[in-house]
Amino acid sequence: MRSGPETLPDIAGAANVAVPGIGVTLGGYLLQPSTRKPQMPALLLLHGNPGSAEDLEPTARNLAERGYVALALSMRGFPGSGGKDDCGARQADDAVEALHWLARQPGVDRSRLGILGYGQGAQVALLAAARTSQLRAVVAYSPVIDITRWGETTGYQPVRNYVAQVCQPHGSSSVSPLFHAPTMSAPVLLIHGVADDWVPPSQSELMHEALQGGGRFSELRLIPGAKHELTEDELEQSWPWVMGFLARNQMLSLAARTQEQQTRVNTFTERGWASRLGRGGIKTIRELGPVKREIITKVQNPHVDGHTDEIREFFLNGLYIRALFPGGQHNAYLLQQVWISKPRWRTKYGLNLGTTREALEEKLGQPDAEQDGFLEYFHSMGIGTARIYLDAERIVKLEWEFPAD
């Protein structure tokens, strides 16, 4: 809708950069973690319509504080960049070029690149994901997925005008991510407001179904009552989903931790308790203390037809254990879940119930995700997750979860 360029204002702590697109120069801001390390993950950020890189600066700063290199970019045709808005046609090619540029920046791990977009920027992010295999993760807030359906179902005349004048000349299918789902290899997180009447949530639902139907990885998160422009509280509500998604897809913000802290995180998420739990057979669980209740469930082995496994849940005083016994044999088991809810059970690094959040972060560093009431730490190889519940900034419960197989 806009035609640029307009100069982006200087912002303290953000490097004003010029990034090459396809025949245009794109303006933006590059923000880096205060503690820089080699091999840092990086994210390209794309704004909605109307908008510019300036709108993305708070998000970029948040990411930089968490250990990510963040490039907030104005798309072609918007303030700070040349060219004309084209509904994602060349803007998606520009985004791929911007990712190449970002991968060349000092300290960036080119094998851990992601892209996050809002509105039209989310549409462009998905189109770009269909044109490159270098992405590790894609986060799309309220994207347009099918341009034709958007134009036909909207109650807004400006939308119909935009679709007819800007989108359709480039071919509706070419700028509709729905038709490019088969060539998207990166995992996708879709976030949409349920009350969005500018871009209805059915658009994200279409994308989610298309990706899953094609065997691609997709998560869909809907925010009740939220409209197209999310409020500050709604954005804050969605942020733990984003952080958890990035972490689960090998985009951990390791630059926010020392190497010693990351080693502790891996140990703690894999085996964070100070007991023999996880070693030996069923006898070692029962030797921990009196088992108040035990639940047994028979399940079909996912790998061998006709082979039955056994899931056992053990309830001890302040300790819960869920374990898988392959073939129903009791000489070895795989942990699926562990909870500690009483201080009689000790953990590694002194992170027992009652420990302060300050002491926790001193030992493990910044959490990978933060939900209402608990923090999450992820093993860098995806082996386990630790959830640490807090009340008045002190640990009140610890929970470990392991990939089920």
Confidence of residue 258 (pLDDT cuts 50, 70, 90): confident
Residue 7 lies in a domain: no
Question: Are 299 and 227 in a shared domain?
Answer: no
Question: Are 245 and 381 in a shared domain?
Answer: no
Confidence of residue 3 (pLDDT cuts 50, 70, 90): very low
The answer to which of 1-5, 356-360, 369-373 has the lowest mean pLDDT is 1-5
pLDDT reading at 255 higher than 60? no
Is 159 or 366 the better-scoring residue by pLDDT?
Answer: 159
Res 38: pLDDT: 67
Residue 6 lies in a domain: no
pLDDT reading at 45 higher than 70? yes
Is 31 or 257 the better-scoring residue by pLDDT?
Answer: 31
Residue 1 lies in a domain: no
Percent of the chain predicted with pLDDT > 70: 95
Residue 8 lies in a domain: no
Is 249 or 348 the better-scoring residue by pLDDT?
Answer: 348
Residue 123 lies in a domain: yes
Residue where one domain finishes, among candidates 256, 274, 309: 256
Question: Are 219 and 247 in a shared domain?
Answer: yes
What integer is the mean pLDDT of 198-216?
A: 95
DSSP-derived pairing of the beta strands 394-401 and 385-391: antiparallel
391 CB-near residues (< 8 Å, 6+ apart): 373
Residue where one domain finishes, among candidates 256, 271, 286: 256
Enclosing domain of residue 294:
259-401
Residue where one domain finishes, among candidates 223, 241, 256: 256
What integer is the mean pLDDT of 100-116?
A: 93
Res 2: pLDDT: 40
Nearest residue to 162 via CA among 329, 1, 357, 402: 1
CA distances, 262 to each of 41, 242, 267, 377 (Å): 15, 20, 9, 10
CA distance 396 to 342: 8
Q: 330-358, pLDDT tens digit by residue?
A: 999 999 999 999 999 999 999 999 999 99
What integer is the mean pLDDT of 6-28?
A: 93
The answer to which of 45-59, 293-307, 314-328, 384-398 has the lowest mean pLDDT is 293-307
pTM of the model: 0.70
Residue 114 maps to which CATH number? 3.40.50.1820
Residue 174 lies in a domain: yes
Contact 52, 1 (CB under 8 A): no
CA distance 350 to 346: 7
Question: Are 298 and 248 in a shared domain?
Answer: no
Residue 320 maps to which CATH number? 2.60.460
pLDDT reading at 76 higher than 70? yes
Is 303 or 166 the better-scoring residue by pLDDT?
Answer: 166
Question: Are 212 and 308 in a shared domain?
Answer: no
What integer is the mean pLDDT of 85-91?
A: 97
Question: Are 152 and 223 in a shared domain?
Answer: yes
Question: Are 48 and 173 in a shared domain?
Answer: yes
Number of structural domains the chain divides into: 2
Res 397: pLDDT: 97
Res 94: pLDDT: 98
pLDDT reading at 270 higher than 80? yes
Res 328: pLDDT: 85
Res 236: pLDDT: 87
Question: Are 162 and 83 in a shared domain?
Answer: yes
Question: Are 215 and 248 in a shared domain?
Answer: yes
Averaged pLDDT score across all residues of the chain: 91
Question: Are 212 and 322 in a shared domain?
Answer: no
Residue 239 lies in a domain: yes
What integer is the mean pLDDT of 231-235?
A: 92
Residue 313 lies in a domain: yes
Helix-, strand-, coil-residue percentages of the chain, each rounded to 5: 35, 30, 40
Question: Are 246 and 139 in a shared domain?
Answer: yes
49 CB-near residues (< 8 Å, 6+ apart): 1, 78, 85, 119, 120, 121
Question: Are 111 and 211 in a shared domain?
Answer: yes
